[in-house]
Structure 1
Amino acid sequence: MYWCACALLFSGVWSVSPPVPDQLSLSGTWTLSSHDGALVLPAEVPGCVHSALLREGLIQDPYFRFNDVSYRWIALENWTYSTTFTASAQLRGKQEVELVFDGVDTVASITLNGNLVGKTDNMFRRYDFSIRELLKEADNLLQVQFLSPVVYASERSRAHQSYRVPPECPPDVQKGECHVNFIRKEQSSFSWDWGPSFPTVGLWRSVRLEAFDTLQLQQLSYLPLYNGSGSQWELQVELLVDAVRTTGVQVAFSMSELDLEQAFQTQFLSGRTKKTFTFHIKKNSQVKLWWPSGHGDQPFYMLSVRVFGDGFLMLNRDVKQVFFRTVELIQEPIPGSPGLLSIITASTIIKTKGCQLESPGSTHAFQNRSPPCHLKNLLRSAVDANMNALRVWGGGVYEQDLFYDMCDDMGIMVWQDFMFACAMYPTEADFIQTVREEVVQQVGRLKSHPSIIIWSGNNENEAALATNWFNISTPQRPVYVKDYVTLYVDNIRKIVLKEDPSRPFLVSSPTNGVESEREGLLGLDHVPWTRFASEYGFQSWPSFSTLQPVSVKEDWSFGSNFSSHRQHHENGNQQMLQQAALHFHLPNSTDPLRRFTDTLYITQVMQAQCVKAQTEFYRSSRSQIVGGKGHTMGALYWQLNDIWPAPSWSSLEFGGKWKMLHYFARSFFAPLLPVSVEDDGALVIYAVSDLNVDLKLRVVVTVHSWANLDPVCSRTSDLQVVPGSSAVALYKQPVAALLAGCGRCTRLTCLLTFHLEDGAGSQRGSDNYHFLSSPREAVGLQRANITVKVQQDGAGFSVTLQSSSVAAFVWLDVGNIPGRFSSNGFLMLSRNKTVGFEAWRPTSAAELSRSLTVTTLRDVY
C-alpha cells in the first residue's frame, strides 16, 4: 500500500464569501432527428432514441412479441440531438465555461453554434469541453450528431486488417448485432443469451454547463487506509480540480466526530490537477467500521472540505458519508491441497454469498426507464434473501451513483467488473487510450464506496482464451495472449493499482487468481469444487403475468414461435424440460393455456432445486478438503435480475417479481442452515454457520409419508459445538437404517425434513428437506385440496392455507399485483400454514383473494 505523511496545520484569516460557480442544466426536452430529416420529434435527456420514439407513439413497446427484431432499423440510423439555450451575462462573464456530458451513447460529434467542440467514442466516459469563447447570449445551438453504433462497430472491425478479433457475431439464436467488442458501449446491448438486441443511441446521462472564475471541483474521493501493524487509520482524500490559472491555496479538512482538523498548503496548476492529502485519524480505537449485511451496521462520518485562496473561501464541500472498512483477498496454500484458500474479507472474514446483476444493475434494457424505486426494490430483494454480495457484471454498465450509495447503506458487498465480456478486444492506440480514460474516471468515481470490495478486469475472457472458445489456431495464440496482457494487465490493472491501493484486483472472473498468474494469466483448471464460486446457475421462464403483456394468445405455448424467439440460449427450452423430466412428470393438460402455465411453473421448480442443490453443496464444503478440492468460501449465482420478459438464469423477473428461486435463496443463504447430502448410502447433515459466535446444536430429523400429513417418526443427534463461520457434520446414518425403524417407509413412499435445535429445544435457523427419490417416483402423493383465506394484517396481508394432504412446491401467485410473500414454493407437510404478503402498491384483501391462485406439483400432471 501507499502511505503519505501529513502536512501543515490550517491557519490564517480569510473572507467567507466564495466565488459562486454557475451551472446551467441542459437536461430536459431536446429535438431528435433522423439523418435525412424524415423523423423529427421531441426527446428527453437523459434518454435514448428508442424511448423518444416510444413516447411519441412512433413505435410500440419494444418488448412486445418480435419488436426487438422489427425495430432493428433504429440502431442502423444516424441520429442528431439538438437544443438551444440562453447563456446569461453572469455565466458568460466567468473565466471558464465547460460543457459537460456525464454519458454519451456512444459515437458522436458535438457542435456548438456550428463549431466542432469535440467527439466521443465511449459510453462509459464523462466528457467536458471548454466553450466560453463560442457562447453568445441567446439561441445557442448545441447539436450531438450520432453515428449508428452497429455501423461504426462494423467499420472498426473491417479496418482491423491484420487478424480477426472474435467473436465476430453472436450466435444466430441471440438475434443480435456484430462486432460489439470494437465499440466501448454496453456489450449486452448488441444481444446476449438472456437479453434483446437494442443498441441504444442517445444522451443517457445529464448534460450541463459549468462556469467558474478560479477553481472548479470535478471530483472528491477518499480512501481509508489501515496500518495493521500500527493499528493506525489514515484517510486519503483526493481532489480533482480545474483551475483557470495556477493558484496557491490552503485545503482544510475536518471530521468533528473524530476530532479531525487539519490543513495543507498546496498549489493547483492551470488546467486539471489531481491532489492527494493523507492524514492520521486520532481516535483510532473509536473508529466505527462498515460491516456487510448480517454482520453489523454501516456507520459513517461527515467530512468537511474547504479551500482558501486569493483572500476568500474558494470551496466549501461536505461529503455526506465517509466509511471505514478494510478488505482483503486471501490466497494462501492449504496443507495437503494443490489449491489456494480464496476468500474476500471486509472488516473481518465474511463468507460471501449472493448473485450477479444481469446487464446493468438497473432493471431495464433502456437505462432511463429504471426509476429509483425499482432499483431500491431490487437491492432490498437481495438483502431480504440473505445476500451480502452482488457482482456487477462486465457486459453491462458501471452503475449509477445511487446504486452504490444504496449498497453502502444496505451493507451489500459489490464485486465490480470492468466492462469487457466473453470476447477478445483490439489493442489499437486509440482504443487503449479511451479505455485508460474510462478506467481512471470510473475508479475515481467509485473508489470511495465501501461496498465495492474487489475489481475484476473482465467477465470470462481468461476462460475464453485458456480453453479456446473461439478456435484460435496454435500459431496465432501468442497474438491474442499479448492483446490480453496489454489490455488487462499493462493498462487496466496498472491504472487500478495506482488509483486505488485499498482493494484487490483480479484480472478476470472467473480466475484461479495467483495460480493463473503463475500459468501466464491463463489458468486451465477451473474446478466445480471451487474455493470461490463466482458464477453458476440454471434457466427458468418467468411467470405468465410477466409474459402476458408482451404476447398474444397464439404465443402461449412452449412450442410457439414466440417461445422460441424469446429463448436466446441455444437449446435452452429443451434443456429445461430435459432436466425437469429427470425429476418430475412434465405438464400434460389438454388445455393449451394450462399446459403452458404449468410448464412455466415446472421450469421455476427445476431452477430453484438446481441452484439450491449447488449452493448448499458449496456452503457445506466450506470446512472440508476432499482430494485437494473444497473449502468453498463464497457463492455468487448467476443471475439476479431480468431486463425484459424472457427465459433466463435470473431469480427476479422483469419488474421485480420473485421467482421460486429467490424464495429458495432466502433459505439456502440463511446465516444458519442445515444441509443434507448422501454419501455412499448414508445421510449426512451439516450445520452451516455464517455467524460470528460458537453454538451448541443438534439435528432433528423427521420422516414424513407422501400419503399422510402426520409425521411417521423422528431422530435426534447429540449436541455438538458448531464454531462460527464453519460447516460441521452433526448427523450421519445409513438411510436404510434410518427408515428401518419408521414403519413401512421406503425411499419411494417417504421424505425427510430436518432442522437445528439448541440445548433448550428451540429451533435455530431455517429448516430443510431431503428427497429420498426423485419426486416423479414418489408413491402416495395426491392432488391436495387447498383452501385459502386472505386477511388484512396491519400494513400487510396474511394468507392462511388449509390442506387435505401433503403438497409439494406450493406456489402462490397474485398475477400482476406487485409484491412478495414471506414464503413460497414450499412443502406443505401440515394441515395449516400462514404466510404474509407485502404489497408494493395499494390493494385489498378482496382484490388479492380474486387474483390468488395456488399451484402444487401434483396439480400439473
Structure 2
Amino acid sequence: KKVVYLIPLSVCVQRSTALYINQSLSGKWSLSNSNGSLCLAAEVPGCVHSALQQQGYIQDPYFRFNDVSYGWIALYNWTYVNVFTVTKQKVHLVFDGVDTVASVWLNGILVGETDNMFRRYVISLSSPVLYASERRKAHSAYKVPPECPPDVQRGECHVNFIRKEQSSFSWDWGPSFPTMGLWKDVRLEAFDVLQLIQISYVPLYSILSQWDIQVELLVDVVQTINGEVTISVPELDSEQTFQTQFLSGKTKSTFILHINTVRLWWPNGHGDQPFYLLSVRGFQNRIVILNTESKVYFRTVELVQEPVVGSPGLSFYFRINGKPIFLKGSNWIPSCLLRGILISNHNNIPGDISSPWSPLDANMNALRVWGGGVYEQDVFYSICDELGIMVWQDFMFACAMYPTEDNFIQTVREEVIQQVWRLKSHPSIIVWSGNNENEAALATDWFSIPAFQRPTYIKDYVTLYVNNIRTIVQEEDESRPFLVSSPTNGAESEQEGWVAANPYDTHYGDTHYYSYTLDCWDWRTFPRARFASEYGFQSWPSFSTLQPVSLAEDWSYNSDFAAHRQHHAGGNQEMLLQAALHFNLPNSTEPQKRFADTLYITQVMQAQCVKTQTEFYRRSQSEIIEGKGHTMGALYWQLNDIWQAPSWSSIEFGGKWKMLHYFAKDFFSAVLPVGFEDDGTLLIYAISDLNHDLKLRVTVYTWTELDPVCTLKSDLVLVHGGSAVAVFKEPVATVLAGCGRCTRLTCLLTFHLEDPSSSQQGPTNHHFLCSPKDAQGLQRPNITEDKSGYTVTLHSASVAPFVWLDVGNIPGQFSSNGFLMVSRNITVAFNAWRPTSVTELSKSLTITSLMDVY
C-alpha cells in the first residue's frame, strides 16, 4: 500500500530571461494521514513527528514513555502536498532526502517512486514498518537475519529490508522512531540550456611531485552544446581552458588541471588546513552557462598494511602526506532521529548539532561516521575539513545481513554513486568502509546460521560489499582507501575470501572490543590491537538532562523509567558492578539525591575506564609485545547521544559534556604522561604527537594532606613525534620506601612532563595505588568556592578525587571538570553557549566530589 505526494504543477508558456532557476520548495506544505483523520501544516525539511508536535497533536516524543505511546505514527501512510509554478523548458523536481518509501505524483500523473532515504531523487509516504515487513515476506527463499532487534530495545523488525537509517528502528542506545517525511530540502530546478547536477574535485599526487586536480562535472543539457570550460586556481596562477562537447541529457565530463607547489592540508595537531579557491566556468559562444567556485584542499592518504618487524600479521595505520598519524577520536552517531523536532532546552547547542566543535575541544583529530545511521550533512564534512578532523566514513549497513535482489542492489548502487560523488571532494574523509560489524557477524555466527546455508550468506556479503559497493567506490574515487567492513583484518580478510575466520585478530586490521565485567582498571584485559575503532563503557546522563523528560516518581535507579530508557540488556546492573570494583556505591537515604549520586558515579566509572583503555592504546603505538602492538588509532564508542538515556556517549543529548569528555581532553592531549603497573613495577611513558625534549616530575601525596610527601624527577629524553617512550621505571615498593611514611593504601601519585626550561607540557595525570574505596585517609574535602564573573575558585581542605561542577541546564562547558584536586585552590572558568548571568550561574552551581556521594 502506497500513499502519494500530490504536487499540482501549473505550467506557463512564457520564457524567463534567466538561463537557470533554482527555486526552493522547502517551507510550508500540507500533511495528512491515510484515513483522512489528520490534516495539518508541515515544515519541510522535517518529518511527520515534528509536524505533529508543532501543531500540538503530540507532545515531546522523548518525554517518559512517549517513544512507545507514539508508535502508531509509523504505522500510518502519510501524504505531503505542495503547489508551484514553473516557466522553463526543462524542469527537475529534486528531493534531496525522502524518508523513505513514496510515490511522487505531478498533476495526477505518477512521475517517480522512492525507496532509499540516502538517495537524492530527481523527479506519500508509506509506513516504513509495514514496507519492511512486506519486503521480508517477498523474500521467501531464506531468512535474512536478524529478524527483529532484542526485546530490550523495544524496536521494529526487518529493518535490513529498507534503505532507511537502521538505528531509527531502535538501537542499544536509542529509541524506535521510524518516522517519515521530507528530511532534506525540496527544490525546483528549471533551465533552458544546462544544469550542473554535481561537481567533484579530487587532488591527486603524481610520482613526478606534481598535483593534478581531477574535476568532474555531471550536467543535464537541453540539447547538445559545443563550448569550452575554464578551470583555474587564481592564487596559484593556474588556469586551463578545455574545448568540450556536452551531449544532450545527462553528461559526465572529466578535466585535469596541473598544479606544481601547494600548501598541504594536515590533521588537527599536525599542521594547518589551508585551502585554495577553484573556479569552474563554462561558455557557449562566449556566454557564461556555468559558473561555480569551491574550496579545494591538497593532501594524500595511504592505509599502510605491511609486514611488521618482530610480529606476525600486518600493520594497519594511516599515512597523511607521507607521515604516520595516530588517530585520536570517537564514533559519531546521527545527531538526531526526528528532524525538525522541538524539544525545550535541547536544540541548537554546539556539540549536539552536526558539527565537530566538541571533538576539536577534546584534542581529537578523527571521527568515525558509523554505518547504522546516516551520511551526514555537507556542513558536517566542511567543518571537519576546516578543523582538520579526519573522517572514517562507513556506508550505511550495520549489524545485519542484507538481501541481494536486483531492486535492492540497484538502489544501493545509486546510493553509493551519489554519496561518493557528493563527499569525495572533502579531504577530511580518509577511508571508506563498507559496513559496520557485518563481517564479524558472519564470521562469529551472531545469527546462528545453519552450516549448510553459510555459503549463501557469504555469497550475498561478497555480492553487496565487494562486487558492488567496493567496485563502485574504486571506479569513482581513487584518492582514498576502501575497507569492506569494520572490524576487519583488511588485506588478510581479502585473502580469506573477504570473511576472515577471526576478524578480531589483533595482528591485523581494526578491532572492536567491549567487556563490562572484567576490571577496566586492569590494562591486561584490553586487546593490544593494531587499531581500536570501537570500545567503551556506558554511563547515565546528568540529572539536569533527565529532569525535563521525567517525573519525580522516575528519579530512582530502579524505576520503570530507568529500566525503559536502558536498551542494552543488563546495562544498568553492569554499570553498578563495574563501579563497585573500585568505589563505594551511593547510599543516601534521600531518594532523589541517591539517584543523582548514582548518575554521577556511573560517569566517574565510565571516564576512568575509557581513560585507562585509551592510554593503553596510546602507549602501545611504539611497542610490539608477544607479536602484538604498534597500535595506531583509538576511536572510543561513542561521541554523541540521540536522546536522554544511558549510553556509551561522552556528550549528553543537548550537548552537555559528561565527565568522559573532559577526560578525553587530557588523554588525547598532544603531550601526555601515562602511568601503569606491571608485576609490581611502576612505569610512566611519555607520549608525544610531535618531537619534544621532555623530563618527568612525579609527586607523591597522602590522601589526607595537600602538601606533597616527596617529588621524583627523570632525566631529559627526546620523545620523537608519534611515539611512546618509557621515562620512569621503579618498583612501587621502592618508590614508597623512598617517600618515608607511604603505603599503597595511604598514598597516590600525580605526574606531568616538562620541557628543558621546566615549563609543564600537557596535562597532569594520576595513578592510584589502590582503589579509592580502600584508600585510608580519604575524607570529605569540604570544598568551598568564590565566584567572580564566569570563573569559580575552589578551596579544598584535603585531596578530592573527581571534583564535578554542574550548572544544571545552562548550556556550556568548564575549562576543567571531573579533576583530581591536590591543591588548596584551583580556578575554573565557564564558557556559556547562550546568554546567561552571574546570578543565574551562582544559583545553579553545584560541586560534588567522590566523598560527597557516600
TM-score greater than 0.5 by the shorter chain? yes
Shift of 1:260: 1.1
1:762 paired to 2:747: no
Q: Where does residue 127 of structure 2 map in the other structure? A: 148
What SS does the corresponding residue of 1:273 show, helix, strand or coil? strand
Q: Where does residue 126 of structure 1 map in the other structure? A: 120
- Aligned positions, number: 812
2:457 to 452, 476, 480: 480
Q: Where does residue 3 of structure 1 map in the other structure? A: none
Q: How far apart, in 2, do the equivalents of 1:408 and 1:561 lie? A: 44
Q: How far apart, in 1, do the equivalents of 2:355 and 2:601 lie? A: 24
1:753 paired to 2:766: no
What SS does the corresponding residue of 1:470 show, helix, strand or coil? coil
What SS does the corresponding residue of 1:275 show, helix, strand or coil? strand
Q: Where does residue 62 of structure 2 map in the other structure? A: 63
C-alpha RMSD of the superposition: 1.4
Q: Where does residue 301 of structure 2 map in the other structure? A: 327
Q: How far apart, in 2, do the equivalents of 1:325 and 1:697 lie? A: 30
Shift of 1:372: 8.5
2:211 to 233, 240, 249: 233
2:150 to 160, 171, 183: 171
Q: Where does residue 717 of structure 1 map in the other structure? A: 714
Q: How far apart, in 1, do the equivalents of 2:139 and 2:34 lie? A: 27
* 1:58-94 CA distance string (max 9 Å, x none): 111000000000000000101111112233xxx2xx2
What SS does the corresponding residue of 2:174 show, helix, strand or coil? coil
Shift of 1:806: 1.1
* 1:437-477 CA distance string (max 9 Å, x none): 00000000000011111100011111111111111111111
1:337 paired to 2:311: yes
1:827 to 795, 817, 820: 820
2:161 to 182, 185, 190: 182
Shift of 1:376: 6.2
Shift of 1:696: 2.2
1:117 to 111, 115, 135: 111
- Alignment check: 8 A CA contact 2:349 2:833 kept: no
Q: Where does residue 437 of structure 1 map in the other structure? A: 414
Q: How far apart, in 2, do the equivalents of 1:412 and 1:346 lie? A: 12
Q: How far apart, in 2, do the equivalents of 1:805 and 1:828 lie? A: 8
* 1:254-311 CA distance string (max 9 Å, x none): 1111111101112112111111111211xx23x0111111111111111111111245
- Alignment check: 8 A CA contact 1:77 1:147 kept: yes
1:667 paired to 2:670: no
1:366 paired to 2:366: no
- Alignment check: 8 A CA contact 1:46 1:368 kept: no
The aligned runs of 1:595-674 (5 Å cut-off) are 595-674=594-673
1:263 to 232, 241, 258: 241
Q: Where does residue 158 of structure 1 map in the other structure? A: 137
Shift of 1:801: 0.2
* More divergent stretch after superposition (94-103 vs 557-566): 94-103
2:853 to 831, 838, 860: 860
Shift of 1:112: 1.0
Q: Where does residue 448 of structure 1 map in the other structure? A: 425
1:247 paired to 2:196: no
Q: Where does residue 435 of structure 2 map in the other structure? A: 458
Q: How far apart, in 2, do the equivalents of 1:295 and 1:720 lie? A: 21
Q: Where does residue 707 of structure 1 map in the other structure? A: 704
- Alignment check: 8 A CA contact 2:541 2:644 kept: yes
Change (3 A) 1:754 1:741: same
- Alignment check: 8 A CA contact 1:238 1:275 kept: yes
What SS does the corresponding residue of 1:655 show, helix, strand or coil? coil
Please tell me the residue identity of whatever aligns with 2:100: T
Q: Where does residue 549 of structure 1 map in the other structure? A: 548
Please tell me the residue identity of whatever aligns with 2:746: T
Q: How far apart, in 1, do the equivalents of 2:695 and 2:233 lie? A: 49
1:848 to 822, 841, 852: 841
Q: How far apart, in 2, do the equivalents of 1:18 and 1:280 lie? A: 37
Q: How far apart, in 2, do the equivalents of 1:303 and 1:723 lie? A: 37
TM (normalized to structure 1)? 0.93
Change (3 A) 1:856 1:187: same
Q: Where does residue 486 of structure 2 map in the other structure? A: 509
Q: Where does residue 14 of structure 1 map in the other structure? A: none
Q: How far apart, in 1, do the equivalents of 2:375 and 2:719 lie? A: 40
1:813 paired to 2:792: no
Please tell me the residue identity of whatever aligns with 1:708: E
Q: How far apart, in 2, do the equivalents of 1:501 and 1:205 lie? A: 29
- Alignment check: 8 A CA contact 1:783 1:858 kept: yes
1:305 paired to 2:280: yes
Q: How far apart, in 2, do the equivalents of 1:588 and 1:257 lie? A: 66
Q: How far apart, in 1, do the equivalents of 2:310 and 2:814 lie? A: 46
2:792 to 779, 793, 799: 799
Shift of 1:789: 1.5
What SS does the corresponding residue of 1:621 show, helix, strand or coil? helix
Please tell me the residue identity of whatever aligns with 1:353: K
Change (3 A) 1:497 1:18: farther
1:353 paired to 2:346: no
Please tell me the residue identity of whatever aligns with 1:185: K
Question: Structure 1: where are the runs of 5+ without partners?
Answer: 1-16, 130-144
Shift of 1:365: 4.1
* More divergent stretch after superposition (437-446 vs 22-31): 22-31
- Alignment check: 8 A CA contact 2:40 2:55 kept: yes
Shift of 1:346: 2.3
Q: Where does residue 141 of structure 1 map in the other structure? A: none
- Alignment check: 8 A CA contact 1:375 1:403 kept: no
Q: How far apart, in 2, do the equivalents of 1:231 and 1:367 lie? A: 48
* 1:653-683 CA distance string (max 9 Å, x none): 0000000000000000000000011111000
Change (3 A) 1:450 1:409: same
Shift of 1:531: 0.7
Shift of 1:537: 0.5
Shift of 1:643: 0.9
What SS does the corresponding residue of 1:54 show, helix, strand or coil? helix
Q: Where does residue 741 of structure 2 map in the other structure? A: 744
Q: How far apart, in 1, do the equivalents of 2:43 and 2:487 lie? A: 39
Shift of 1:217: 0.5
* 1:746-777 CA distance string (max 9 Å, x none): 11111111111222222111110001111111
Q: Where does residue 95 of structure 1 map in the other structure? A: 89
- Alignment check: 8 A CA contact 1:18 1:315 kept: no
Q: How far apart, in 2, do the equivalents of 1:397 and 1:175 lie? A: 21
- Alignment check: 8 A CA contact 2:443 2:503 kept: no
- Alignment check: 8 A CA contact 1:217 1:239 kept: yes
Shift of 1:368: 6.4
What SS does the corresponding residue of 1:724 show, helix, strand or coil? coil
Q: Where does residue 13 of structure 2 map in the other structure? A: none
Question: Structure 2: where are the runs of 5+ without partners?
Answer: 1-15, 507-526
* 1:364-386 CA distance string (max 9 Å, x none): 54366665956568511110100
* 1:132-189 CA distance string (max 9 Å, x none): xxxxxxxxxxxxx111000000010011111100000000000000011000000000
Please tell me the residue identity of whatever aligns with 2:658: K
Shift of 1:19: 5.2
- Alignment check: 8 A CA contact 1:456 1:507 kept: yes
- Alignment check: 8 A CA contact 1:34 1:40 kept: yes
TM (normalized to structure 2)? 0.94
Please tell me the residue identity of whatever aligns with 1:121: D
Q: How far apart, in 1, do the equivalents of 2:263 and 2:17 lie? A: 34
- Alignment check: 8 A CA contact 2:49 2:341 kept: no
1:788 paired to 2:763: no
Please tell me the residue identity of whatever aligns with 1:638: W
Change (3 A) 1:374 1:535: closer
The aligned runs of 1:398-413 (5 Å cut-off) are 398-413=375-390
Q: How far apart, in 1, do the equivalents of 2:241 and 2:430 lie? A: 30
1:381 paired to 2:358: yes
* 1:422-448 CA distance string (max 9 Å, x none): 000000000000000000000000000
* 1:14-49 CA distance string (max 9 Å, x none): xxx995212222111111101010001100111100
- Alignment check: 8 A CA contact 2:352 2:654 kept: no
Q: How far apart, in 2, do the equivalents of 1:657 and 1:257 lie? A: 41
Q: How far apart, in 1, do the equivalents of 2:268 and 2:743 lie? A: 42
